Amino acid sequence: MADELSLADDDWGAALNEQAQGEQAALLVKNQTATVFRELSDQPIKGGTNPDIDFILDIPVQLTVELGRTKIAIKNLLQLAQGSVIELNGLAGEPMDVLVNGCLIAQGEVVVVNEKFGIRLTDITSPAERIRKLNR
């Protein structure tokens, strides 16, 4: 019986020791991660960009200019042909939404330059607001 009790104590002690080692390893990993994902600094460098974000500057993103939206029934969708006009909910002269990866970042007005359409930005959301929307 005493041998069984000491064996149980040894198993219990080994389990507690293993748990303590696991907690220490998790704390070590957490501390290492904290140094890897430190806060971005607000100070630009000589080149004009923040060195913390230089590595993401060449990542492509999807830029969309939204003129307006509408909902139509499938039967009306099937009746569309070349030259059909679809009424949108946006008004003529109203600012157009500029979206990056689906998030609104600016508004602007349509311009024509050398027979190509473009958009002149008239209102840009603040960097803090853009980051808040990206975190959703």
What the block records as the tokens of 25 is 């390893």
CB atoms within 10 A of CB 14: 10
pLDDT digits (tens, 9 = 90+) for 5-55: 454 457 777 777 787 777 776 666 655 545 455 555 555 555 555 667 777
Q: In angstroms, what CA-CA distances link 106 with 40, 44, 53, 60, 109?
A: 23, 23, 21, 18, 10
d(CA 110, CA 10): 77
Q: In angstroms, what CA-CA distances link 47 with 44, 50, 58, 77, 124?
A: 8, 8, 16, 51, 23
Q: What is the pTM of this model?
A: 0.50
Complete DSSP assignment for 81-135:
-TT-----SSPTTPPEEEEETTEEEEEEEEEEETTEEEEEEEEE--HHHHHHHHT
pLDDT digits (tens, 9 = 90+) for 75-133: 999 999 999 988 888 777 788 889 888 888 899 988 888 888 888 999 998 888 877 77
Beta strand 103-113 with 63-66 is unpaired
User: What integer pLDDT is reported at residue 78 of this predicted model?
Assistant: 92
Q: Is CATH 2.30.330.10 the right assignment for the domain spanning 54-134?
A: yes
